[in-house]
Copies of this chain bind each other. A is one copy, B any other.
């Protein structure tokens, strides 16, 4: 077990390392105000800490830097995050709340997160396929042009213009809409498409060309919505360029690629979705070789009705956890509450 002095030294060492980014030597540590021991003593302690795997020396004659294990201990035991200033919290909350629909909320949150933290922000959005259709509307733009509006969970709308082969009357559109609204509302995307297929197979013969196109258009819209924007948003990649630890073009290229491929991050965020609160993944803990020099901080959120997502940041392993953690925490909580504001009424 670590003695009080050992812990103190480890803590100081890590704090210094996080601040300066350079290996910390025994002399430097010994001169710190709260440390009343000589460099030699510090060296002895450091040798012990190294033996336990909390710190390591990059080479014989550099100071020590914390290992992932050391950082883990630091985050779990030593770190005391002061809460975000009320002012900043409030600013964040209002910017996020005012941004519009669910997509826009996550967009804004993501942008703010990457700007504020100086890290790469990631948002895993709730699975659209589980969203329930709450309204369908057809808007007649011109004789042969119709705008399909699908509303999901009462807080997200998807548009799709469709072109008709024949003129259609407002009346016909009205009837189509009310048919859709009685038959499909409350269903998930998948269910809605199934139902549509089912109902249509009999009716299709009776429908004229315009009607068919409308149905087709609605199906397209459903499909577009389903496959639409990938469920993962990554923003602020360029922030990575500023960190010396990652200042290697090859590595940067690989990291940037991993952001586009999505798989890597997705598997990481999936882990986080289960955990009910904030999580910190340090280096290897991310489960990816590539992210070894990085840390990831995540926090899940949900928009009610079991639609759950995750947001977080990715940055160099040496990041100001003290500052970043509260930001992720607060942002997730804001998004969570904003998205829950209008819990859809469960139908059927």
Q: Which of A43-51, A122-130, A252-260, A271-279 touches B?
A: A252-260
Contact with B along A92-118 (1 / 0, CB 8 A): 000000001100000000000000000
Bound-state Cα–Cα, A157 to B242, Å: 39
Given known pairs A100-B224, A238-B260, A256-B238, the reply for A159 and B161 (CB within 8 Å) is no
Copies of this chain present in the complex amount to 2
> Are A139's CB and B151's CB within 8 A?
yes
Bound-state Cα–Cα, A154 to B143, Å: 12
Chain B residues with CB under 8 Å of A257's CB are 238
Contact with B along A123-150 (1 / 0, CB 8 A): 0000000000011010101100101010
Q: Which of A211-256 contact B (CB under 8 A)?
A: 224, 237-238, 241-242, 247, 249, 252-253, 256
Chain B residues with CB under 8 Å of A141's CB are 134-135, 151, 154
> Are B224's CB and A241's CB within 8 A?
no
- Give min CB distance, A315 to chain B, whole Å: 15
Q: Does A160 contact B (CB under 8 A)?
A: yes
> Are B151's CB and A155's CB within 8 A?
no
Bound-state Cα–Cα, A345 to B143, Å: 12
Looking at the complex, which one of B145, B149, B242, B252 makes contact with A147 (CB distance below 8 Å)?
B149
Looking at the complex, which one of B154, B238, B242 makes contact with A237 (CB distance below 8 Å)?
B238
Q: Does A199 contact B (CB under 8 A)?
A: no
> Are B253's CB and A238's CB within 8 A?
yes
Interface of A is mostly: mixed
Task: Give me 24 A-to-B residue pairs in the complex whose CB atoms sit less than 8 angstroms apart, sorted by A's number.
Answer: A100-B160, A100-B161, A101-B159, A101-B160, A134-B141, A135-B147, A137-B149, A139-B149, A139-B151, A141-B151, A141-B154, A142-B345, A145-B154, A145-B342, A149-B157, A149-B159, A157-B161, A159-B159, A237-B238, A238-B253, A238-B256, A238-B257, A241-B253, A247-B249
Bound-state Cα–Cα, A139 to B150, Å: 11
Chain B residues with CB under 8 Å of A259's CB are 238
Q: Which of A52-107 contact B (CB under 8 A)?
A: 100-101
- Mark A residues whose CB is within 8 Å of B: 100-101, 134-135, 137, 139, 141-142, 145, 147, 149, 151, 154-155, 157, 159-161, 224, 237-238, 241-242, 247, 249, 252-253, 256-257, 259-260, 342, 345
> Are A154's CB and B142's CB within 8 A?
yes
- What is the chain B residue whose CB lies nearest that of A144? B342
- Give min CB distance, A156 to chain B, whole Å: 9
Bound-state Cα–Cα, A257 to B241, Å: 10
- Give min CB distance, A245 to chain B, whole Å: 12
Chain B residues with CB under 8 Å of A151's CB are 139, 141, 147
Bound-state Cα–Cα, A69 to B252, Å: 33
